[in-house]
């Protein structure tokens, strides 16, 4: 199996040591990819130190800024070669920015715009930046980190996040139609309750009420990303792969 060996992958939102983004980067690198990682802060270079310098690259970028997104693509390709795989994982939260959940009638224009920017428009900017090269080379794998929240279920006070993640799936499906004839596949992964460093105690408890009986691990999401990023996933596009321990198929939420 060719998998991702020798391919160049860019993973955003990989600054947290125990987050989904860095788990994706580790799994891709272990499978033989050349991996670039980014985050908004300098902690991304700590992650690079854990990787080692061989076939790796790290950069800071604020993906709410178009020039930063475009620079990240240029610098990655200068360091490692043309980008074959893009994992748009950045979103949900930014270091140093705390946005509380709000009911829709209480959301300001600024908070709505911010939530859309970091969860949806940032992915649009980076996808737009890599797409011409992928189409010209007639090969690409774009994996968007959506969620079960929005596409499948809802959480009170999470209207902005849910709308953005549902929008990410809609963008993915439309782009799959545009890019499919050019050899580029575009898919989403929808995590459920995944235990990371930013998980609240309520989220950890919710994970215990899934059919599997525990929250998921970042690596379990990363292996779904690895599948979609592989050469062998060439006939899978426009799809949402849910990684939630069966939670969304469970109507009665009780401990089993």
Q: Cα angle vertex 166, ends 162, 172, to 5°?
A: 150
Phi, psi of 13 (to 5 degrees): 60, 40
| Active-site residue flag, 161 | yes
Phi, psi of 3 (to 5 degrees): 60, -120
Give residue for tokens 């090969």.
139
Q: Are 36 and 12 in contact (CB under 8 A)?
A: no
Q: Which of 139, 161, 209, 235 is catalytic?
A: 161
**N- to C-terminal Cα separation, the chain:** 38
For 54, other C-beta atoms within 10 Å of its C-beta total: 7
Q: Cα angle vertex 143, ends 141, 145, to 5°?
A: 175
Q: Are 146 and 165 in contact (CB under 8 A)?
A: yes
Please list the active-site residues: 161
């Amino acid at each position: 199996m060719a998998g991702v060996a020798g391919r160049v992958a860019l993973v955003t939102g990989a600054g947290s040591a125990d987050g989904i983004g860095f788990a994706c980067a580790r799994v891709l690198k272990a499978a033989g990819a050349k991996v670039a990682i980014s985050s908004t802060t300098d902690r991304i270079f700590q992650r690079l130190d854990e990787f080692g310098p061989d076939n790796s690259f790290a950069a800071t970028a604020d993906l709410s800024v178009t020039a930063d997104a475009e620079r990240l693509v240029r610098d990655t390709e200068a360091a490692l070669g043309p980008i074959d795989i893009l994992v748009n994982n950045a979103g949900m939260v930014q270091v140093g920015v705390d946005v509380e959940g709000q009911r829709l009638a209480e959301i300001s224009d600024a908070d709505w715009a911010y939530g859309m920017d970091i969860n949806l428009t940032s992915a649009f900017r980076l996808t737009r930046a890599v797409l011409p090269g992928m189409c010209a080379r007639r090969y690409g794998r774009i994996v968007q980190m959506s969620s079960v929240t929005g596409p499948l279920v809802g959480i009170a006070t999470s209207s902005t996040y849910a709308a953005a993640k549902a929008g990410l799936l809609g963008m993915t499906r439309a782009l799959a139609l545009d890019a499919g004839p050019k050899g580029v596949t575009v898919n989403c992964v929808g995590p459920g309750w995944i235990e990371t460093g930013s998980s609240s105690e309520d989220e950890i408890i919710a994970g215990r009420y899934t059919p599997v009986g525990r929250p998921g691990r970042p690596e379990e999401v990363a292996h779904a990303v690895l599948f979609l990023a592989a050469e062998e996933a060439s006939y899978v596009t426009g799809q949402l792969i849910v990684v939630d321990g069966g939670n969304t198929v469970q109507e009665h939420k009780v401990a089993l």
